[in-house]
Structure 1
Amino acid sequence: MKTEELLNEILQVKIFIKKHNPTIGILTEEILRKFLSTYLPKGVAVKQGFIIDETGNMSKQIDIIIYDNQFFAPLYRVNDIVIVPNIAVLDIVEVKTTVNSKSAFHDIIRYFYSVSKVLDYRTKKRLFIYNSATTFKLNEYFHNFNHTGEYQMFDNDTFYHLPDTITGIRSSYHLGKNYINFESDMMGYTSYNYLDDTNKDISSLEIFFKSIYERVFEYNLSKTNKEFRNNTSFEIKNEKNLKNISVIELFNM
């Protein structure tokens, strides 16, 4: 699988550069950008840089920006760093090598709060973590987050600013924002985890890539009148082998 090649590249970085986390982080970002740029459908570019809205507000630096380069050009470019208008952006990805503490995760929440204020409402926000805390720990981190103001719970407004997907490679999961209907009606995240034929975790990396691929494919499809959806299906092998479902409940509906 192509995603196995990507995982092996990231593993090689971890082996050869063991004690310099900033370098590992930069290389992980570059490997992921290169992979997405190579294997995503045409019509989009995969860069790093900044996003600007119609009033001139600029985001913090973003690790991966996936934008329509067929109808939009960067407003500014230096090598692989671009500034692009928010209406051109399909997805953004914040890449982290390791997130295993409450403070680190809370910094990420604040980062997404800041960036999402500049994004177009249609842009998907994604968090990609190579070494991640378990979903049990993430649940704890979410509920320990210090909100501004007196109200110390998530609600519809604050939930909007959170990443739409959270992918952990080690602990394997791909959490997506969802309506959760178990004992009560909640909003939060769910992750459907699968096993392959050898009883190993199917890659959350595959699910991550599939979700972005489908996003770009649907976007491209919306720009054409051609009916070719049935001839270009994209499936994950062995998706039927459901292992478990992880849930993070954030607030009542």
Structure 2
Amino acid sequence: MMKMGVHTLATIAILALASSLTYASDPSPLQDFCVATNDPALFVNGMFCSDPMLATADDFFFHGLNIPRSTANSLGSNVTLLDVTKIAGLNTLGVSLARIDFAPYGLNPPHTHPRATEILVVVEGIIYVGFVSSNSNPTNRLFTKLLYPGDVFVFPQGLIHFQFNVANTTGVTFSGLGSQNPGLIVIANNVFGSTPPISPDVLTKAFKLDKNVIEFLQKEFYTAT
């Protein structure tokens, strides 16, 4: 496994965030900053600003992204997302950052970010990545690449994509995302694990599978709330 220092990780994270500014899609701020605050009584497209005179350096700070996360799960991966809920100072700035840890042969399954383009850099592992275009021209085209440490890949906003560590060692990647709240739709979880469940008749016809298979998948992905 490749050894990395804190300074190396910090540099990579900064580069990923800086690169993501190019693809930022959230509304541009009209002030220097707008540190997020929670108000359960009201809803806005984003988050309310706290008094800028009360802002501190800690509103723009997160500690510990160099620490490996547990990958002891069925997929063998763990995503640490630093969005506006983790760093309040990201509010209105149009960026966030993610670290993904992979076990050997770990998978970050097909998913989309409805509000963000993602730019990923590999630090450890050999990561097979890909995304699928929409049903416009070219129709459902798969773009894939095998990435090694130091390689970078871009996933366009809203398109289904995945990352798979094909090495027998652990993997680490960092991603800059062009939104303070990029959103996440994990395809299998959302389709087969919705609450309440989508009618098996709908999924049977959509996926051209036997109804028993659909019902089995719904049981596998269902999570009680």
**Normalising to structure 2: TM-score of the pair?**
0.32
Higher strand share: 1
Q: Tell me which protein shows more helix as a share of its residues.
A: 1
Q: 1 or 2 for the larger relative contact order (CA 8 Å, sep ≥6)? A: 2
TM-score, normalised via structure 1 length:
0.30
Bigger radius of gyration, 1 or 2?
2
